[in-house]
Chains A and B, each alone.
Chain A
Amino acid sequence: MVELTHEPIDALRLLARAQQPQAGAVVLFLGITRQFTAGRETAELRYEAYAEMARSELAALEQQARGRWPLVECAIVHRLGVVPLAEASVAIAVSSPHRAAAFEAGQWLIDSLKQTVPIWKQEHYSDGAAEWVHPEPPGF
């Protein structure tokens, strides 16, 4: 299941979805808005997506993860718009019969999401400045 939303993410709903009798392990990852980055204070983050493509890239990640690991549930939700401090911009809940697959799939999903899914973050700093984040690729 993949989803884009402008509302706060209900992590407990994702956990309930992942917590099935065929599973023996559930892993939940939340990416949340951090107040300080390299000493600079963030007031909030804002996210924008190429929604149609982001949904299809997220669905492709779910399919790839299901091909690599025996997942019972694989739920990925990304929030768009303003995400206040300590609130989740992304949530990934995976469940599998044994824990290794759930941990590995969860890590792979968030790492891959950050590299391929067309979603962008704008930092809004406490001093009023705003800046889109467009990371330089490694070795660029």
Chain B
Amino acid sequence: MMKIKVKLFAAARELASGSEVVVELSAPATVGQLRAALAREIPPLAPLAERSLAAVNAQYADDADAITPDDEVALIPPVSGG
């Protein structure tokens, strides 16, 4: 198992009551598995996580992309800047 720290923002941060959560995944892990684990372990976050993107090392990532404990991972809920 490996521990992945995930940065959370905006409503995701409030639904999870914290700006960072730690998720345990079995290695090797993908972004898709991380999103599923977040939804499973933090039920209030599930509906928003479903329609969020993820970023690895500050770049948008696909569900198939691999992640390691050294990566900076973030959940990116639908954006609303401007």
Whether the pair A52, B58 counts as a contact (CB closer than 8 A) is yes
- Residues of B near A132 (CB, < 8 A) are 10-11, 14, 77, 80
Whether the pair B82, A134 counts as a contact (CB closer than 8 A) is no
Whether the pair A134, B77 counts as a contact (CB closer than 8 A) is yes
Most A CB contacts (10 A, CB to CB) among B11, B14, B60, B80 go to B80
Evaluate whether A120 and B10 lie within 8 angstroms (CB atoms) in the complex, with A49-B81, A50-B58, A140-B51 already known. yes
Residue interface mask A56-79, B partner, CB < 8 A = 1: 100000000000000000000010
Evaluate whether A50 and B7 lie within 8 angstroms (CB atoms) in the complex, with A134-B48, A136-B51 already known. yes
Evaluate whether A116 and B79 lie within 8 angstroms (CB atoms) in the complex, with A122-B10, A134-B10 already known. yes
- Residues of B near A119 (CB, < 8 A) are 79-82
- Would you call B39 an interface residue if the criterion is a C-beta within 8 Å of the partner chain's C-beta atoms? no
| A-B CB contacts (within 8 Å), total count | 79
Min distance, Cβ B35 to any Cβ of chain A, angstroms: 15
Q: How many positions in chain B have a CB within 8 Å of any CB in the partner chain? A: 19
Evaluate whether A48 and B9 lie within 8 angstroms (CB atoms) in the complex, with A113-B82, A116-B79, A117-B81 already known. yes
Instruction: Give A contacts to B, CB under 8 Å.
Output: 31, 47-50, 52-54, 56, 78, 89-90, 110, 113-122, 132-137, 140
- Residues of A near B60 (CB, < 8 A) are 116
Question: Within the complex, which residue of A53, A90, A121, A135 is in contact with B58, where a contact is CB–CB below 8 Å?
Answer: A53
Evaluate whether A90 and B82 lie within 8 angstroms (CB atoms) in the complex, with A48-B10, A53-B55, A132-B10 already known. yes
Min distance, Cβ B56 to any Cβ of chain A, angstroms: 10
Most A CB contacts (10 A, CB to CB) among B14, B60, B79 go to B79
- Would you call B59 an interface residue if the criterion is a C-beta within 8 Å of the partner chain's C-beta atoms? yes
- Residues of B near A115 (CB, < 8 A) are 79
- Would you call B23 an interface residue if the criterion is a C-beta within 8 Å of the partner chain's C-beta atoms? no
Min distance, Cβ A118 to any Cβ of chain B, angstroms: 5
Q: Which residue of A lies closest to B52 (CB)?
A: A134
- Residues of B near A50 (CB, < 8 A) are 7, 9, 55, 58, 74, 76
